[in-house]
């Protein structure tokens, strides 16, 4: 596992972690870049504007208006690393200088042709090739709807009978996935399978489990994702651990809260079934922390990645690691944030010797729009309160203003 471990210096055990260190958080941003982020997060703070932006952008792209340069120099620049791996390289290099790894994520959504699926598969293979033996890129990721039609995945999810053509399509998908995992294992580059909507997720879970059984005998090469905004995920996690112990395979788990809450609630209401989403944010938080505990208690067979921007959950994970005497740089524990978000967590964790990665989406501007819209929605003001990112940027701006006034300040 050693080559996936970013922290090469001795673990800084005694240092108390402090997320309020905005100087460290924004050290990669000069004043101009900070001002640009400030402007963007201020705009995103307005929910009505975000809704309007989403609709107008999708419409403008559809009718062919030349808005790509505008998107690329604003929201795309904040949340995506580049249109290709080559264009993303500068960001990868910058992050690794601060001991932060990159999880390159070919963020192309809403594509449906065989040519698109093959392109995505080849792109993932290229990432694996670049990542082998490269501590700057310790993992990669894949969305199964990037290599299979969503409506076919939905049929499989509900065990709807497939016709011969669909069977053949599904076989092709399995071949694509197998090629990816065979390469991942040969090159020692683990792959996260992203979690998607619940009407696809049973199928994704089954595929992930089958592949963990197959590929995770010596090391977790295949990692699945659990969305803790679902009320059924603790039971699922327990079942998975039980099966892994019985059948002697290793589990890879990325824990997240989940990105499709509104869509899930809307569909459940429309189709009149019980929403899969927890009754409250507090319940989601509670289950996230419980899942962290359970994973750490089973760290001998689990590789865990906490994909979160929540400070309390991050501190909970740190405290539990300490209680269970799990070292900061234990190769089975990773923290991860999305590129463009929560740098105060990322860089301060890395500074304290934890394994940290950024999810680094890249791809053509148009194809990343669904991802960008999710990020804009995530960063909008809730109940009139300023978003977490906006608050941090304002704090850093103030800190820089005051530090200039101090003797020797610049």
Residue 73 or residue 265: which is nearer to ligand FAD going by CB? 265
Residue 133, both tokens: 């033996």
Instruction: Name the minimum Å distance from CB 10 to ligand FAD.
Output: 26
Distance CA 224, CA 195 (A): 7
Instruction: Name the minimum Å distance from CB 278 to ligand FAD.
Output: 4
Nearest-CB residue to ligand FAD? 307
Give contact residues for ligand FAD (rule: CB under 6 A). 194-195, 225, 227, 229, 254, 256-261, 277-278, 280-281, 284, 307-310, 336-338, 359, 378
143 closest CA partner among 377, 373, 363, 378: 363
Do residues 212 and 251 make contact, with C-beta atoms less than 8 angstroms apart?
yes
Instruction: Name the minimum Å distance from CB 256 to ligand FAD.
Output: 4
Instruction: Name the minimum Å distance from CB 244 to ligand FAD.
Output: 20
Residue 194 or residue 329: which is nearer to ligand FAD going by CB? 194
Instruction: Name the minimum Å distance from CB 260 to ligand FAD.
Output: 6
- Which helix H or strand E contains 338, and what residues bound it? strand 333-338
Residue 25 or residue 261: which is nearer to ligand FAD going by CB? 261
- Which helix H or strand E contains 199, and what residues bound it? helix 198-215
Q: Which residues of 253-291 are buried (b: 16+ CB within 10 A; e: fewer)?
A: bbbbbbbbbeebeebeeeeeeebbbbeeeeebbebbbeb
Non-local CB neighbours of 333 within 8 Å, separated by 6+ positions: 296, 299, 303, 304, 306, 317, 321, 326, 354, 355
DSSP string, 11-78: P--SPPP-TT-HHHHTTT--HHHHHHHHHHHHHHT-HHHHHHHHHHHHHHHHTT-S-HHHHHHTHHHH
Residue 229 or residue 354: which is nearer to ligand FAD going by CB? 229
Residue 76 or residue 260: which is nearer to ligand FAD going by CB? 260
Instruction: Name the minimum Å distance from CB 8 to ligand FAD.
Output: 22
Residue 284 or residue 355: which is nearer to ligand FAD going by CB? 284
Residue 70 or residue 234: which is nearer to ligand FAD going by CB? 234
Instruction: Name the minimum Å distance from CB 128 to ligand FAD.
Output: 18
Residue 35 or residue 193: which is nearer to ligand FAD going by CB? 193
CA angle, corner 25, sides to 350 and 44, nearest 5? 125
335 closest CA partner among 319, 318, 322, 320: 318
Unique residue bearing structure tokens 């590789």: 303
Instruction: Name the minimum Å distance from CB 166 to ligand FAD.
Output: 25
Unique residue bearing structure tokens 């800084």: 12
Give CA 403 to chain center in angstroms.
34
Do residues 118 and 108 make contact, with C-beta atoms less than 8 angstroms apart?
no
Give CA 5 to chain center in angstroms.
18
Instruction: Name the minimum Å distance from CB 403 to ligand FAD.
Output: 29
Instruction: Name the minimum Å distance from CB 288 to ligand FAD.
Output: 7
117 closest CA partner among 93, 150, 84, 85: 150
Residue 48 or residue 383: which is nearer to ligand FAD going by CB? 383
Residue 264 or residue 329: which is nearer to ligand FAD going by CB? 264
């Amino acid at each position: 596992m050693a080559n996936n471990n970013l922290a090469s210096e001795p673990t800084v055990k005694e240092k108390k972690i402090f997320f309020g260190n905005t100087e460290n958080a924004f050290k990669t941003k000069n004043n101009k870049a900070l001002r640009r982020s400030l402007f963007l997060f201020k705009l995103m703070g307005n929910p009505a504007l975000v809704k309007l932006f989403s609709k107008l952008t999708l419409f403008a792209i559809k009718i062919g208006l030349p808005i790509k340069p505008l998107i690329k120099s604003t929201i795309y620049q904040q949340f995506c690393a580049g249109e290709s791996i080559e264009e993303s390289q500068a960001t990868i290099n910058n992050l690794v200088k601060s001991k932060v790894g990159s999880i390159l994520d070919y963020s192309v959504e809403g594509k449906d042709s065989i040519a698109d699926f093959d392109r995505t598969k080849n792109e993932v293979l290229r990432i694996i090739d670049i990542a082998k033996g490269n501590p700057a890129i310790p993992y990669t990721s894949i969305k199964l709807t990037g290599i299979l039609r969503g409506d076919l995945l939905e049929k499989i999810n509900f065990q709807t009978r497939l016709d011969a053509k669909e069977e053949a399509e599904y076989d092709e998908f399995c071949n694509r996935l197998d090629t990816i995992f065979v390469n991942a294992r040969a090159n020692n580059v683990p792959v996260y399978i992203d979690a998607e909507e619940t009407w696809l997720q049973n199928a994704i879970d089954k595929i992930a489990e089958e592949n963990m059984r197959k590929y995770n005998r010596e090391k977790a090469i295949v990692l699945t994702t659990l969305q803790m905004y679902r009320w059924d995920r603790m039971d699922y996690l327990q079942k998975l651990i039980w099966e892994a112990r019985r059948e002697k395979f290793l589990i890879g788990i990325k824990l997240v809260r989940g990105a499709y809450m509104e869509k899930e609630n809307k569909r459940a209401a429309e189709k009149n079934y019980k929403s899969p989403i927890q009754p409250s944010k507090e319940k989601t938080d509670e289950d996230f922390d419980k899942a962290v505990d359970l994973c750490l208690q089973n760290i001998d067979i689990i590789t865990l990645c906490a994909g979160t921007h929540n400070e309390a959950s991050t501190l909970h994970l740190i405290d539990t690691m300490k209680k269970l005497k799990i070292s900061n740089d234990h190769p089975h524990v990773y923290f991860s944030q999305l590129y463009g978000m929560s740098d105060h967590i990322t860089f301060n964790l890395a500074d304290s010797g934890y394994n940290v990665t950024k999810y680094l989406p890249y791809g053509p501007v148009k194809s990343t729009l669904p991802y960008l819209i999710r990020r804009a929605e995530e960063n909008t003001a809730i109940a009139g309160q300023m978003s977490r990112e906006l608050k941090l940027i304002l704090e850093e701006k103030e800190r820089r203003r005051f530090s200039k006034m101090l003797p020797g300040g610049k």
